[in-house]
Amino acid sequence: VSGEVPEEPVVSKGSGLLFEKRLIERHIADYGKCPVTGEPLTLDDIVPIKTGKIVKPRPVQAASIPGMIGMFQNEWDGLMLSNFALEQQLHTARQELSHALYQHDAACRVIARLKKERDEARSILAQAERQFPISTPNDATANAPVHSNGKRAADDEELAPNAKKLHPGISSSIITELTNCNVALSQQRKKRQISATLAPIDAIETYTQISSHPLNKTNRQGIISLDILYSKDLIATGNVDTNAVIFDRPSGQVLATLSGHSKKVTSVKFVGQGESIITGSADKLRADSLEHDTHINPCILTFLVFSGRITNRVLHDALNPNL
C-alpha cells in the first residue's frame, strides 16, 4: 500500500497479501474491505508476521560525499529562500505600522487644532454676547456706532477704544458724602447690641410651614433672590424665568410681575419705603417705580455699564432712595 518495506508487516488470511499494520488497520476501520481485491476484510483476518529489524538503505545522494554536499546545498538554498520571504514580510509590516503611526499622529494634531479653534470660537462668541446683545436695529440707526451693551450711540457721543461710552465717574461731592456716611455707620456698628427680640435657636427649630404659594407659571421654576418690605408686608422675588414678582403676604395674591429682563433675575431690592424696586440680572440693572402698592410704572432707569452678570446689589445709606 505504501510502496515501501513494512516496518510491522501483517498478512491477510484470505488473499495472502502483505500490508503495513497501521495502514491496513486504518483502511479496515474506514472501508471494511481489502484495498487490493475489494473483498470484505476485518481485523481478525490479518495475522502479524515476526521479522528481524529492517535497516533502511541510504538514499543515492547520501551514498557519497558529493551527493551529501548537494543535499546540504539544497537545504541551505531552501533556508535562505524562507529567510528572504520572512524579511519581506517584516519589511511590509514595518511600513504598515509606520503609516498607521503617521496617520494617528496627524489625526491627533487635527483634533488638537479643532479643539483650540472651538475654544477660541466659544470665547469670541461669549465676549460678543456680553458686548452686543441680540437686537434688531432699524434702518435709521443701522450705521450708528454701537455700545458694548448693544445700544446705538449718537454721532456726537465720545466712545472708548472698546466701543463703550466714556463716563465721568463718581463726582468728588458724592465721594465725600459716602465717606462721611461710612464713618457714621462704622461708629454705630461698633455700639450696636444684639436685639433681645431675636428668636432663639430652639424656637426656630419648632417653626412649621404655614402656607405655600407657587409664583412661577412656566417650566423654568425657581427663586434666586428675595427681599421683604416689612412696613407693607410685601415680598419681592427674583426668579429663574426672567421675571420678578411682588407678592402680598396677607392676601396671598401676586400684585405685579416685572418682565423687563431677558435672563434670570439674580438680585431684587425694595428702595426706601417701597417707592421703587431694583432688579438685576446678567443683562442689566433695572429700577421700577411702585405706586399705591399695586401699580408698577414702566421702567424708570436702566444701567448697562458692566460687562459681567449681577450677583448682588447694595444701596448705600448716604444716597437718596428716590434717585
CB 165 within 8 A of CB 151: no
Residue 223 host element (H or E): strand 223-229
Q: 133: closest CA among 152, 120, 118, 115?
A: 152
Cβ pair 238, 227 in contact under 8 A: no
Per-residue DSSP letter, 31: H
Euclidean distance between the first and final Cα of the chain, in Å? 121
pLDDT in tens, the chain (323 residues): 666 777 888 999 888 888 888 898 998 998 888 888 888 989 888 899 887 766 666 677 777 888 888 888 989 999 999 999 999 999 999 999 999 999 999 999 999 999 999 999 999 998 888 877 655 444 444 455 554 445 555 544 555 555 555 556 677 888 888 888 888 888 777 777 777 778 888 888 888 887 777 766 666 678 888 888 888 888 888 888 888 888 888 888 888 888 778 888 888 888 877 678 888 887 777 777 765 444 444 444 554 444 455 555 555 554 444 43
- Name the residue among 38, 42, 40, 35 with its Cα closest to residue 18: 35
User: What is the residue extent of each domain of the chain?
Assistant: 9-48, 61-127, 219-323
Same fold, 9-48 and 219-323: no
> What is the DSSP secondary-structure string of 72-104?
HHHHHHHHHHHHHHHHHHHHHHHHHHHHHHHHH
Q: Which of 241, 239, 245, 215 is nearest to 225 (CA)?
A: 239
Domain 9-48: give its CATH superfamily: Zinc/RING finger domain, C3HC4 (zinc finger) (3.30.40.10)
- Overall fold of domain 219-323: Lipocalin (2.40.128)
Exposure class string for 147-165: b at 16+ Cβ within 10 A, else e: bbbbbbbeeeeeeeeeebb
